Amino acid sequence: MCGICGLMMDDSKLRHSPVGSILQDMMESQQIRAQDGAGIAIFNKSNADDSFKIKNFRKEMSDYVIDEVKSSSKNISENLQKLRQDPECHFFSFENEMTILKETGLAKDLDRKFGIRKMNGSHGIGHLRIATSSRVTPFNTHPFSTTILPDIAIVHNGEITNYNMLRDSLELEGFTFHTDSDSEVIAVFLASRILKHGDIEKAHREFVAKADGPFTYIAATSDSIAIVRDKFGTRKGIIGYNPGTDDHPPFWAMATDLSALDVVGATTKIETPHPGKPRIFYRN
Amino acid sequence: MRLNEKAVIRKSILDLCNTGLPRQESTDDVIRKIREKNGSQKEENLWEYIVALGAQLSRPPFDPYREKIKLTTKIGRKGDQKISLKIPILIYGEFDLSQSSKDALNLTLNDLDDDRSTVGLISKDEPCDERKYPHFQILDDINKLADPDGIVLKYTGAKTEEKIEKIRKEFDGPILVEVDEDFSQYVESLLELGIDGILVNTENITKSKRYNGKHAIAVIHDARLAINEFYRGKENDGACLVVAGDVNNAGKMIKAAGLGADIIGYDTSLLIAKVGHHSENFFDEEITAQKIFNHMIATKSELTGIPAALGYSDFHNMSPGDFRTSSIKASVQGDIPLEGVDKTYRNIVEEILDEYVNTKNISVNQQERQKIINLVIEEEN
Amino acid sequence: MPLPKDIMNFRWDMANVVKNEGHVADLKSLLLDAQKASDGLVPYASLGAHSQNDYFSNIMINNAKINSMQDYSDVDASLIIGGRYSKKIIKTDVPFSVAGMSYGSVKLPAKISMHLALNKLAKNGIKILMNTGEGGALPWEVYGAKESREHLSKTHWDSILEFTDKLLRANHLEGIDIDELFTREYPLIVQYASGRFWKDPAYLLNADGIEIKIGQGAKIGHGGILPGSKVTELVAENRGILAHKPAHSPSRHLDILGPEDLVAKVLELRELTKWETPIIVKVGASRIYDDLEIILKSYADCATVDGLVGGTGAAPYEVREDIGINTIASLRPIRDAINDYYETHDKDGFKLLVNGGIWDSERIAKTIALGADGVGIGTGFLLAMGCTLIQECHTDICPAGITGSYEKLDVEKSAEGIFNYIKATKIELQNIAGSLGREKIEDIEMTDLSVNDLLTSIISELPFSDGTNHVSKIQTKIDHAINALNLQGGKI
């Protein structure tokens, strides 16, 4: 039950758009909603190569440090296996062109630690967390990704109430979970459907049909970003367009509160996503 | 408060109110004495020891007046032959009904369909021609196949599999198999043959030797486990679990659904008895039909109200994790977490055992570990 | 809800069957089924759930006596609520309060009995907290303090008096002295529930505390309902709703869907009351660890938790029976939530009230020892007024005349019963603490308790009276199992 935001540059030729600083502005404007944790995922095609990064949180004393394992497509399953067997290791992200950064505390602290404002890319999502049903730890902070496929990140506001049921059936099918957060099920479900039929829009529609409870989530893959509200529209979500300036190209922005669109000037073409209907933007 | 302790509690409090002075014994002292005198209460009806977790702050409840709570259930694993029920109930009874009862039932079921509250019927009889509801025919003899919407076969050993193969050639609607107590051994192969679900009658199965002394929740839990085992490593295409027997009120239906039942087999004879028995008039078809109708509509409201209070907009979204129990026996039989600790009794024993063998430096292999745990938890069962 | 004639007959028939054959469980379900068949509606029930196992009786207070020759009247039994964020505090002289029972669900004579009894107790030096319940407050509760009447216009005051007069006359209570009635000497908490059944902002402004009711033990996740038969014209006028129609309240506050909405609501009420009035958040015991963590973060002064057995005026039968966990079972996750929160926050004046199945001093002491600061009692006060526990509060057939009007309630006798109940319970509580050598009720601790069965030990973390606990009991079982299986410890 948190504050979420996301943006997609409308002109992807400019790969080095200031996604980080816009996201940071949107997050800080929504800080009042939640103070337990903050995180971002930013996509930048120029990072893409044939190696994959598996990041983990490892507990050292009372703190968590981030471990990064570089893998080629050959030894990737081996490395994932190792991670699953290590109880001290908490899965953080599985990245190729995506970069996820997250931490407990405020959005400002996140920026201070990782320099979010300096990050560039084509699209990104951000999250502010207030804990509801899992503990305040860095690995329960959003965005969530999955070890099934790289470059999937989701941020989520609300509650997937039938999380247990969805998780049980996905686990039976053979997919692995790494946290006890209900939000992770979105990432795993989307990945499982992408593997099955490759159609991201269909995957979102299937998820809305199956998931119960009040929620809005924003999910990003390497070439799309989508905002999805539950079928009753119990949770907020709003979309706006910034026509661009000299400093940055035009972009679509989405967030929980209108204030977050205001602060980044995305106030034209304002719309509320229809309950139960995914609204998707593709990287062109 | 237990019903039979009401009087004690009342007297104990009235002692305070009448005198304004401290009593000699507290309410709990008196209750304890009575319980000691009567011996410990046998936990027979385990349903009464199971509760659901309601939705409040960590998740909001739905409101059936504002949000539509879905009860619809589909039976059938293949896309084009699914049967849809608007209430997840199949009327089902083993006893023969009188013709007038049958007529009343037929009347009700059609009315319910008109009301968009379709429930199905499982019966030995040939389906009525003017029916609007789905009829599952119990088929003892393949040659008697009439024109039902679905078929229920009783499991009768290995021959059943041949029967299924044969029927499949002529009939492409849903086939359910009513299983006996040994279902764990053959459910997977039946599902492999393409049946659309299994039906467990908890009343019959708990009478068997295998389930001696166990409760319906153990049967439901095991049946769900068997179906899940079949789906390990593949996508679930919706084989359903129909639970009949000791599930004859809304509370039990909700708990059965939480444990894994998709559809409830609601006993016909019981239903007719309940509503017909106390009628002021002698048996009147229309009055009986109206009463069964009322009964089903009220049950429908209960079946939407409780999931909504748990934060679900679909009856089928409840899972064992939404339930807690105040009985070790129920925790063991249904694998339900104990209230307040959120762990099953098995989990607790496992933790203590692992700690114990560590400190005592005993090495126990996986098989032995399981044996010890089973012995310990069976003791409380 | 009126009962059709055939249902009444059926009940009578079945009662005879039960008497002769003893099928208690069957009777319950047969009655419900018959009722459903008769009207096609969800059957309702009232008071608390028939929990088969509420653990209370399996817990003992070691070496404590409720009756003592010694005088322990100097044992401190007071309870303070507020001060964590609020400027004002509520101080009461007993650690138990009158749980929310609204006008409408209980009839006016019962409300007046409680009012008079609590005033009398206050005069005798025992201030006890009263909760209005969700149905709004009565005029003398809202305007019971002298200063609250000072700024009222004459017309407003006259209209209040006129309504009061109507209320009293309808209940044949004209003899009550108006000046005496309009003196409230005990602290009052008003409920801010999803139904918003009040029509006067003074309801919130004049209260000593505000309780945001998210849920209650008897019907968690389910909105309240006052059956149409109980919404008389006067009840309707007091609540500002239509008469003779059921008064539904939604299953959730329509503007509280999650934790951040609760924060916003608490802050809204804080602004409204100039940060003076203590604010409480009430939930039923279910996902209690999560819910309490949220309340702790929400700028509330206090949380109220209501266990499964907590009563109600009307709830669907299955909802009352099947949703929520027992009071004792909720206390362990509550302790965990509070401890986890204060690991990273400085201690402050956060308080915890617990309701549900608590009727006498020993149960109060047990609940406090297990982590509560105070408790709420509902059914106990009904018993003090003559309740017979037939659990028909949702109908009009209360044989004691408390929740229905078949009988006339004797206001004076009921007030006397409540007076005695509170007085004696306070003495018993002081005796318990005193005989344990404690100076305060709140000093009764978990070490003073023991249990007599395995499950209670698991759920409460309490030891048996011989010092063993559930871990050692299970270890013994493991030992037996290892022997029985012929596994020799150490070798393998």
Asked if residue C180 and residue C144 are part of one domain, the reply reads: yes
B359 at C interface, C-beta within 8 A: no
SS3 A238: strand
Contact A104, A9 (CB under 8 A): no
Domain annotation covers residue C119 = yes
C258 at A interface, C-beta within 8 A: yes
Q: Of C196, C207, C199, whose CA–CA distance to C145 is shortest?
A: C207
Distances in whole angstroms, Cα of residue C139 to Cα of each of A196, C224, C236, C273? 66, 22, 14, 20
Q: Is the pLDDT assigned to residue C334 strictly greater than 90?
A: yes
Residues C332, B340: C-beta atoms closer than 8 Å? yes
Query: A76 or A114: which carries more pLDDT confidence?
Result: A114
Asked if residue C123 and residue C8 are part of one domain, the reply reads: no
What are chain C's partners, defined as 3 or more CB pairs within 8 angstroms?
A, B
Summarize the confidence of residues A13-18 as an average pLDDT: 71
In chain C, % of residues over pLDDT 70:
93
Residue C32 confidence class, pLDDT cut points 50, 70, 90: confident
Q: Is the pLDDT assigned to residue C24 strictly greater than 70?
A: no
Contact C26, B270 (CB under 8 A): no
Structure token pair of residue C207: 């209260």
Contact A15, A45 (CB under 8 A): yes
Q: What is the pLDDT of residue C19?
A: 52
Contacts of B129 (CB under 8 A, 6+ apart): none
Going along chain A, which residue ranges are E strands?
3-9, 37-43, 51-60, 63-72, 89-95, 98-104, 123-129, 152-158, 215-221, 224-229, 238-242, 251-255, 268-271, 279-282
**C-alpha torsion sign, points B315, B320, B324, B326:** positive
Q: What does the pLDDT look like over C283-332, one tens digit per residue?
A: 999 999 999 999 999 999 999 999 999 989 889 999 999 999 999 999 99
Residues C260, A34: C-beta atoms closer than 8 Å? yes
Cross-strand pairs, C225: C248
| Architecture of the domain whose range is B73-321 | Alpha-Beta Barrel (3.20)
Q: What does the pLDDT look like over A130-152, one tens digit per residue?
A: 877 777 787 888 899 988 888 99
Q: What is the CATH number of the domain that holds C121?
A: 3.20.20.70
Asked if residue C264 and residue C385 are part of one domain, the reply reads: yes
Structure token pair of residue C367: 């609940």
Q: What is the pLDDT of residue C21?
A: 45
Q: What is the pLDDT of residue A14?
A: 59
Residue C25 confidence class, pLDDT cut points 50, 70, 90: very low
Q: What does the pLDDT look like over B331-360, one tens digit per residue?
A: 999 999 999 999 999 999 999 999 998 898
CA distance C325 to chain B (A): 6
Q: Of C54, C49, C99, whose CA–CA distance to C328 is shortest?
A: C54
Superfamily of domain A3-282: Aminohydrolase, N-terminal nucleophile (Ntn) domain (3.60.20.10)
CA distance B229 to chain C (A): 29
Q: Is the pLDDT assigned to residue C23 strictly greater than 70?
A: no
Q: What is the pLDDT of residue C16?
A: 54
Query: B275 or A113: which carries more pLDDT confidence?
Result: A113
Helices (H), C393-469: 411-435, 454-460
Q: Is the pLDDT assigned to residue A15 strictly greater than 80?
A: no
Burial of C12 (0-12, 13-18, 19+ CB in 10 A): exposed
Q: What is the pLDDT of residue B94?
A: 67
Q: What does the pLDDT look like over C443-456, one tens digit per residue?
A: 999 999 999 999 99
Query: How many beta carbons lie within 10 A of that of residue A254, not counting itself?
Result: 27
C145 at B interface, C-beta within 8 A: no
Measure CB to CB from residue C290 to each of A33, A34, A132 and give the nearest one. A132
Q: Of C250, C334, C251, C257, whose CA–CA distance to C290 is shortest?
A: C334
Q: Is the pLDDT assigned to residue A167 strictly greater than 80?
A: yes
Asked if residue C20 and residue C142 are part of one domain, the reply reads: no
C107 at B interface, C-beta within 8 A: no
Residue of chain B minimizing CA distance to A166? B317
CA distance C323 to chain B (A): 5
Distances in whole angstroms, Cα of residue A123 to Cα of each of A40, A93, A149, C429? 11, 17, 18, 64
What total of structural domains would you count in chain C?
A: 2
Q: What is the pLDDT of residue C3?
A: 47
Asked if residue C225 and residue C164 are part of one domain, the reply reads: yes
Which of C162-186 are b and which e, b meaning 16 or more Cβ less than 10 Å from the residue's Cβ?
eebeebbeebeeeeeeeeebbebeb
Q: Is the pLDDT assigned to residue C490 strictly greater than 50?
A: no
C290 at A interface, C-beta within 8 A: yes
C255 at A interface, C-beta within 8 A: no
CB within 8 Å of chain A, chain B residues 229-288? 231-236
Which domain, by its residues, includes C441? 46-450
SS3 C394: coil
Sequence spans of domains, chain B: 1-41, 73-321, 343-381
Domain annotation covers residue C464 = no
Strands A37-43 and A123-129: antiparallel
Measure CB to CB from residue B372 to each of C329, C458, C481 and give the nearest one. C481
C465 at B interface, C-beta within 8 A: no
Q: Is the pLDDT assigned to residue A72 strictly greater than 90?
A: no
Q: What is the pLDDT of residue C491?
A: 45
How far is it, in rounded angstroms, from Cα A242 to Cα A252? 6
Summarize the confidence of residues C378-392 as an average pLDDT: 91
Residue of chain A minimizing CA distance to C259? A1
Q: How many residues does chain C have?
A: 492
Mean confidence (pLDDT) of chain A: 87
SS3 B104: helix
- Amino acid of residue B162: E
Q: Is the pLDDT assigned to residue A27 strictly greater than 60?
A: yes
Domain annotation covers residue C485 = no
Measure CB to CB from residue C251 to each of B58, B295, B309 and give the nearest one. B309
B115 at C interface, C-beta within 8 A: no
Residues B314, A212: C-beta atoms closer than 8 Å? yes
Residues C490, B360: C-beta atoms closer than 8 Å? yes
Q: What does the pLDDT look like over B249-259, one tens digit per residue?
A: 899 999 999 99
Q: Of the ranges C116-120, C183-187, C230-234, C270-274, which one carries the lowest mean pLDDT score? A: C230-234
Query: How many beta carbons lie within 10 A of that of residue B185, not counting itself?
Result: 10
Asked if residue C192 and residue C157 are part of one domain, the reply reads: yes
How far is it, in rounded angstroms, from Cα A158 to Cα A208? 13
Element (H, E) at B240: strand B240-244
Q: What is the pLDDT of residue C274?
A: 94
Sequence spans of domains, chain A: 3-282
Summarize the confidence of residues A228-256 as an average pLDDT: 90
The count of C-alpha atoms lying within 13 angstroms of the C-alpha of C189, restricted to the half-sphere facing its C-beta, is 34
Asked if residue C27 and residue C162 are part of one domain, the reply reads: no
Summarize the confidence of residues B207-234 as an average pLDDT: 93
Residues A173, B311: C-beta atoms closer than 8 Å? no
Residues C359, B35: C-beta atoms closer than 8 Å? no
Residues C257, A214: C-beta atoms closer than 8 Å? yes
Q: What does the pLDDT look like over C150-199, one tens digit per residue?
A: 888 999 999 999 999 999 999 888 889 999 999 999 999 999 998 888 77
Q: Of B215, B262, B228, whose CA–CA distance to B243 is shortest?
A: B262
Q: What is the pLDDT of residue C1?
A: 39
In chain A, % of residues over pLDDT 90:
38
CB within 8 Å of chain B, chain C residues 350-409? 357, 359-363, 380, 383-384, 387-389
Domain annotation covers residue C427 = yes
Q: What does the pLDDT look like over B201-215, one tens digit per residue?
A: 998 999 999 998 899
Domain annotation covers residue C456 = no
Q: Of C369, C246, C364, whose CA–CA distance to C315 is shortest?
A: C246
Contact A144, A153 (CB under 8 A): yes
C283 at A interface, C-beta within 8 A: no
Residue C347 confidence class, pLDDT cut points 50, 70, 90: very high
